[in-house]
């Protein structure tokens, strides 16, 4: 068996250090190159890493957690203009991020040059060479949230003298993840991408968080990796790089995460993560704003005088019962909620206007949306700058894991159930869409005619 062979690589003495790795010398590389089809239409106009979750880009959760544990150097392994533009326009070189979170010394952010990669592992290989990285690297999937004790992970990696350490977490549905077969000492003897439940060697799965030894840089340049790229036209971690390292006998170990991990790659998982984090599901608690009291996980954001005045008025409305908030909720800056509105386990982002008698349950309404009187949003996501017309006489319903894309207008009295509407589309009043994915105005007309 190839995995029984132990292989080592010669490397400069400067890279061989069995003392604890200082997080400040780590480079954290986020490969951001996928099309994120499962999160469409949210990802049609912005990178998946920058889709808003709890009023911030998804990737910012990981960056805050890692920077608070000492990492100061980040590289975004961007592929394609949409990914680059979304990340660079928001984060730039990291000064604004550092100032906002009070990170000193400040974070530095670099970007993959315009060199096309053929997968997440290839992206890291490109950046290792381009930036001449001699030290250890932390590879991070940009569309997940996690609680990792970085010092504990680094200690594990050093004690095992691992070429690569993969952070693992228990899962139920193995067919959705890469799964590791572990020795008693946590060395990975086999790695299987998305096995069926019957064929899975275990129920611990790859989280997309990798610690790479400096000696891995030579592997990326080796003939074996070059042949994988030549034959498969890709170099992904789960499907290619990890199995290759294991089969070639490199010391690859699994580190089982002690904290929480959330995959937000689908609308359902997005909403699950949203509610879990609002309920305290992360140890390194992100800044959600001010809680209205100690008993309830209800947050209202804003620090300016105008925001504080609006927050105080909203608290009066909640305490008097004019607005009902049940379970957990996050309400963004300068957002207005009309009388009789109910929020249950939901997030309403900044600059939103919600009319009277609106019911929002286990849903996310992203920034600068308008939702008219009497509307229902249940188990769904309404994306940025969308306009949901509704009245008490002709209420609009959006439910059952529907996703409304950016800048969509929904007509009064419409029912959108288990459907996805792509950005910029105008849905006529009284429309009924059930289990549809509407990508264009033409598709919308066809769908509506089929109901007649």
Which two structure tokens, joined as six digits, stand for 173? 């549905």
Q: Is 360 helix (H, G, I), strand (E, B) or coil?
A: strand
Which two structure tokens, joined as six digits, stand for 63? 């960056």
CA distances from 53 to 111, 116, 148, 253, 365 (A): 23, 28, 20, 32, 10
Q: Are strands 381-382 and 364-365 parallel, antiparallel or unpaired?
A: parallel
* Confidence (pLDDT) at 451: 65
Q: Is 70 exceeded by the pLDDT of residue 170?
A: yes
pLDDT digits (tens, 9 = 90+) for 92-151: 999 999 999 999 999 999 999 999 899 999 999 999 999 999 999 999 988 889 999 999
pLDDT digits (tens, 9 = 90+) for 19-67: 577 888 899 999 998 777 889 999 999 999 999 999 999 999 999 999 9
Kindly indicate the confidence band of residue 199, based on its pLDDT and cuts at 50, 70 and 90. Answer: confident
The total of other beta-carbon atoms located within 10 Å of residue 42's CB is: 26
The total of other beta-carbon atoms located within 10 Å of residue 179's CB is: 24
* Confidence (pLDDT) at 19: 54
pTM score:
0.89
Distance between CA atoms of residues 182 and 254, nearest Å: 7
pLDDT digits (tens, 9 = 90+) for 206-253: 899 999 999 899 999 989 999 999 999 999 998 899 999 998 899 999
Distance between CA atoms of residues 85 and 281, nearest Å: 31
102: left (phi over 0), alpha (psi -120 to 50) or beta: left
What the chain holds in terms of domains, given with CATH numbers, is 2-265 (3.90.550.10), 290-449 (2.160.10.10)
How much is the mean pLDDT over the chain? Answer: 89
Residue pair 128/248 in contact by the 8 Å Cβ criterion: no
DSSP code per residue over 288-341:
--EESSSSS-EEE---SHHHHHHHHHHHHHHHHTSSEEEEEEEE-TT-EE-TT-
Q: Is 90 exceeded by the pLDDT of residue 292?
A: no
């Amino acid at each position: 068996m190839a995995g029984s062979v132990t292989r080592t690589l010669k490397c400069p003495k400067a890279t061989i250090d069995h003392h604890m790795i200082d997080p400040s010398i780590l480079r954290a590389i986020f490969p951001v190159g996928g099309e994120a089809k499962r999160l469409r239409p949210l990802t049609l106009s912005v990178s998946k890493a920058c889709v808003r979750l709890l009023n911030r880009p998804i990737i910012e959760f990981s960056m805050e957690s890692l920077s608070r544990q000492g990492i100061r150097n980040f590289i975004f392994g961007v592929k394609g203009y949409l990914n680059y533009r979304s990340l660079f326009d928001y984060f730039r070189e990291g000064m604004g991020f550092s100032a906002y979170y009070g990170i000193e010394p400040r974070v530095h952010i670099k970007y993959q040059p315009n060199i096309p990669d053929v997968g997440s592992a290839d992206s890291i290989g490109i950046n290792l060479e381009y930036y001449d990285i001699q030290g250890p690297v932390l590879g991070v999937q940009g569309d997940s949230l996690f609680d990792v004790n970085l010092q504990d992970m680094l200690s594990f990696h050093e004690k095992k003298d691992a070429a690569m350490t993969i952070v693992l977490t228990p899962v139920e549905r193995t067919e959705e993840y890469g799964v590791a077969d572990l020795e008693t000492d946590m060395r990975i003897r086999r790695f299987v991408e998305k096995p069926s439940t019957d064929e899975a060697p275990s129920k611990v799965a790859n989280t997309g968080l990798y610690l790479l030894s400096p000696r891995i840089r030579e592997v990326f340049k080796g003939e074996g990796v070059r042949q994988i790229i030549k034959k498969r036209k890709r170099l992904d971690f789960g499907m290619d790089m990890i199995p290759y390292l294991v089969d070639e006998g490199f010391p690859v170990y699994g580190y089982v995460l002690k904290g929480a991990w959330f995959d937000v790659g689908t609308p359902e998982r997005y909403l699950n993560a949203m509610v879990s984090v609002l309920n305290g599901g992360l140890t390194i608690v992100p800044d959600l704003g001010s809680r209205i009291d100690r008993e309830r996980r209800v947050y209202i954001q804003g620090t300016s005088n105008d925001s504080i005045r609006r927050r105080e008025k909203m608290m009066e409305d909640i305490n008097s019962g004019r607005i009902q908030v049940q379970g957990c909720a996050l309400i963004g800056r300068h957002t207005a909620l009309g009388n009789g509105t109910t929020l249950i386990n939901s997030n309403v982002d900044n600059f939103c206007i919600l009319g009277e008698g609106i019911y929002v349950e286990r849903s996310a309404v992203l920034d600068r949306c308008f939702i008219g009187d009497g509307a229902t949003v249940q188990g769904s996501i309404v994306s940025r700058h969308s306009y949901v017309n509704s009245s008490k006489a002709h209420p609009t319903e959006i439910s059952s894991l529907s996703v409304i894309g950016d800048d969509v207008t929904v007509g009064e009295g419409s029912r959108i159930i288990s459907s996805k509407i792509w950005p910029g589309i105008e849905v006529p009043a009284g429309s009924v869409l059930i289990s549809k994915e509407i990508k264009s105005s033409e598709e919308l007309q066809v769908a509506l005619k089929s109901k007649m």
